[in-house]
Amino acid sequence: RGCPLNHAIQRRVLALLYLLILYYILILTLGPSCSSLQFASVLSTMATGSTALALIVLAAFVLSMLPTSLAVTSPYVRPRSRATLSVPKDAGGQTPTQVHISTVGHDEMRVTWITEDDAPAVVEYGMTSGQYPFSATGTTTSYSYLALYRSGNIHDAVVGPLKPSTTYYYRCSSDPSREFSFRTPPASLPFTFVVVGDLGQTGWTKSTLQHIAAADYDMLLLPGDLSYADFLQPRWDSYGRLVEPLASARPWMVTEGNHEIERIPLLEPRAFKAYNARWRVPYDAGDSPSGSNLYYSFDVAGGMVHVVMLGSYAGFEAGTAQHEWLRGDLARIDRGRTPFVVALVHAPWYNSNKAHQGEGDDMRDAMEALLRAARVDAVFAGHVHAYERFTRVYGGMEDQCGPVYVTIGDGGNREGLADEYIDPQPKTSVFREASFGHGRLQVVNATHALWTWHRNDDDQPVVADQVWITSLASNPDCNNRAGAGAQA
């Protein structure tokens, strides 16, 4: 006490704290893709003299430490997008909000919800509205972000065993004010997936969700970029409220995108903090647990379809945990019992759009041979805000035993559409269009699945592209060692 040195240290600590807060505010103001020049310009208008110079130098240093995915300047000009939606909070206390479900194994469902106040992590459920003879108790967590935001109480509980193709009514935290219902997926074919990426929460998102809800389906698959919160944590809450009507009624199976990273060096060094807390996936269930919330797999339709959810932003090179897990996961598949195998990943491995060129190439180089050897039928990606379907491809060339590749990052994000393509169109690219929309994969039987892409750029769900996909397990040319191709 009274020591000048201590006061000097305190002033420096306070100055650093103020600078960190200022840095966070500027990130929120300019957005995660701001350049160091933009950052320095704003700082210079807020200070003068040597203080400004010091702040500019420090800002440039901090920005140089940011991941490249947070500082990419898009090489194209996006069309005008619709306004970002903000779904206001309409409940507090112990009332459950942001309810969503996901499958766990073949006969269980995870229910996740948030309450503002402390509440029991209990789900009560039954097959008749208002009657809940069964219950399951789960866990409660929460997280803080930059000491400026603290989440509500995030609860999840696994319910089951459940009957297939059955509607269950349920309530969370014993709250009588809100009853929800979901239908379990069928235990056999046919089975219908909705596939949509880069969803966000804009007017286009609302249109996409309305079109999805207008026709029945069994499960939604989302290959990354969910809320576009981009550090603003209340956007996660708004997103949860926006998708709740659909996500509480059918299982949503998701994987991460670059907008889920939300890592800030020194301030928030742990990536995927909000995503992992809010969207827990069944990475520890089934015969092939991955050990990571960033990649996993599961079966549907009584094992007739195997779905692999890959992580573009987890290690994927040979020798990494994800690579070794994928090798083992694919090796366990008996294609005599599982005629269809599909995979999802965020950054596309094939892409003729000028946006995000080459960003999935390293992962493709590391894993493509594994997928071909396992005769994966289709790979769905997001990231590029447009639609594109490729023919069966392997090694950059048409290959009858390679997967069909589809980019479907056009759910409705706030960044708009990527409407510039490389010309001439590659021979492997069958159909491409920069419009918002969603896709449906209906696995009809053990040999055929119908893929359709529904454009909603004109606010009407118009089928703009469709193709029948034949299971590679039924193709004799792909069922021998020579036809199956290289082993990785």
Active site residues: 356
Dist CA 256 CA 112 (whole Å): 17
Please, are residues 88 and 239 in contact by the beta-carbon 8 Å criterion?
no
Residue that is written with structure tokens 């490729």 in the block: 390
Please report, as a single letter, which amino acid is at residue 409.
Answer: G
Task: Give the CA angle between residues 401, 405, 406 to the nearest 5°.
Answer: 155
Dist CA 294 CA 345 (whole Å): 10
CA distances from residue 210 to 125, 203, 409 in whole angstroms, order as listed: 27, 11, 17
Largest CA distance in the chain: 85
Encoding tokens for residue 221?
Answer: 């698959």
Q: Is 234 helix (H, G, I), strand (E, B) or coil?
A: helix
Please, are residues 300 and 253 in contact by the beta-carbon 8 Å criterion?
no
Please, are residues 159 and 113 in contact by the beta-carbon 8 Å criterion?
no
| Whether residue 161 has a cis bond before it, omega within 30° of 0 | yes
Dist CA 281 CA 297 (whole Å): 9
SS3 content of the chain, % helix, strand, coil (to 5): 25, 30, 45
